[in-house]
């Protein structure tokens, strides 16, 4: 069993509470659409050489397949142990000491209606010889609408502006750079924010960066469900559906080739189904 210090426990508790509220909000949308779909939750233990069951932490994978949300996964994990020597070199603060702790929430929603944008959100707290928060959210519409893009970004900007005037322009630009598929020469969506390595050198820094990370989660929860409700009743054509499948293919390419979170999960003995829950249920490549 992992022994958590107060900062680690506070972060874990927050991520789990955010998971519960997001899942409740998504299930409420399914009820409005006349569906009784609900999340199925599967607990898992981190597995790695030399670690007894439960000692490396684990998580819970939540997946719902419904009328509006064709496939949505909301995962929370809290894990610890030691990185492999080679992987440790790529992690902030782990080159000289590979021991680590990580807790976070990760969400990806693929929608049944091509007019409803897919979405990704994650926030996390990591500890090596340094401690920091990271995360972000981005909107991935097969058929973009300026109103949806503006509302999504407005929510994230308000969360950023309440903490630091430099956050939104900096983290928006970081998202534009990060959520880009180099081999395609395209962005995978209409952006959002991405941040990492908000280091917690002392309690005051932890409190500030934790407050900002909570604000990002609250902004996502406030912004995304109204967009879903706005578009979920839209009529769509076979061409619209084909476009959605093509963009899902782009999403899968990014997550399998470039996404840091996918690599982190695979390198640290995470649950394979939880790591790859971000992949769409159906996609196409021409």
Give the DSSP per-residue string, the chain.
-PPPPHHHHHHHHHHHHHHHHHHHHHHHHHHHTT-----EEEEEE---TT--TTTTEEEEEEEE--SSEEEEEEEEEEEEEE--HHHHTTSTT-SS--EEEEEEEEEEEEESSTTSPEEEEEEEEEESSSEEEEEEEEEE-SS--HHHHHHHHHHHHHHHHTT-TTHHHHHHHHHHHHSEETTTTEESSSEEEEEEEEE-SSHHHHHHHHHHHHHHHHHHHHHHHHHHHHHTT----HHHHHHHHHHHHHHHHHHHHT-HHHHHHHHTT--HHHHGGGS-SS----
CA neighbor of 265 nearest in space, from 46, 93, 7, 8:
46
Under 8 Å between Cβ of 280 and 110: yes
Say how many Å lie between the first and final Cα of the chain, rounded. 48
Under 8 Å between Cβ of 59 and 78: yes
Catalytic residues: 120
Structure tokens at 135: 């995360």
CA neighbor of 142 nearest in space, from 59, 209, 239:
239
Q: What size, in residues, is the chain? A: 286
């Amino acid at each position: 069993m992992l022994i958590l210090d107060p900062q680690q426990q506070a972060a874990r508790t927050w991520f789990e509470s955010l998971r519960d509220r997001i899942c409740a909000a998504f299930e409420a949308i399914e009820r409005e659409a006349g569906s009784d779909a609900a999340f199925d939750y599967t607990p898992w233990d981190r597995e790695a050489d030399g670690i007894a069951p439960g000692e490396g932490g684990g998580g819970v994978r939540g997946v719902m397949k419904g009328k509006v949300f064709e496939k949505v996964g909301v995962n929370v994990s809290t894990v610890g142990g030691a990185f492999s020597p080679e992987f440790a070199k790529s992690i902030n603060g782990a080159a000289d000491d590979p021991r680590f702790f990580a807790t976070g929430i990760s969400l990806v929603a693929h929608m049944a209606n091509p007019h409803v944008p897919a979405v990704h959100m994650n926030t996390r707290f990591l500890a090596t010889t340094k401690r920091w928060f990271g995360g972000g959210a981005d909107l991935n519409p097969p058929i973009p609408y300026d109103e949806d893009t503006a509302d999504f970004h407005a929510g994230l900007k308000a969360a950023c502006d309440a903490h630091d005037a430099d956050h939104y322009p900096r983290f928006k630009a970081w998202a534009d750079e990060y959520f880009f598929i180099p081999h395609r020469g395209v962005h995978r969506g209409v952006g959002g924010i991405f941040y990492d390595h908000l280091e917690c050198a002392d309690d005051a820094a932890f409190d500030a960066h934790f407050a900002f990370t909570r604000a990002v989660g609250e902004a996502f929860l406030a912004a995304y469900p109204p967009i879903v409700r706005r578009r979920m009743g839209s009529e769509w054509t076979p061409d619209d559906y084909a476009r959605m499948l093509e963009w899902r293919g782009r999403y899968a390419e990014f997550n399998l080739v470039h996404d840091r979170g996918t690599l982190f999960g695979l390198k640290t003995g995470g649950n394979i189904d939880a790591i790859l829950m971000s992949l769409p249920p159906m996609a196409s490549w021409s």
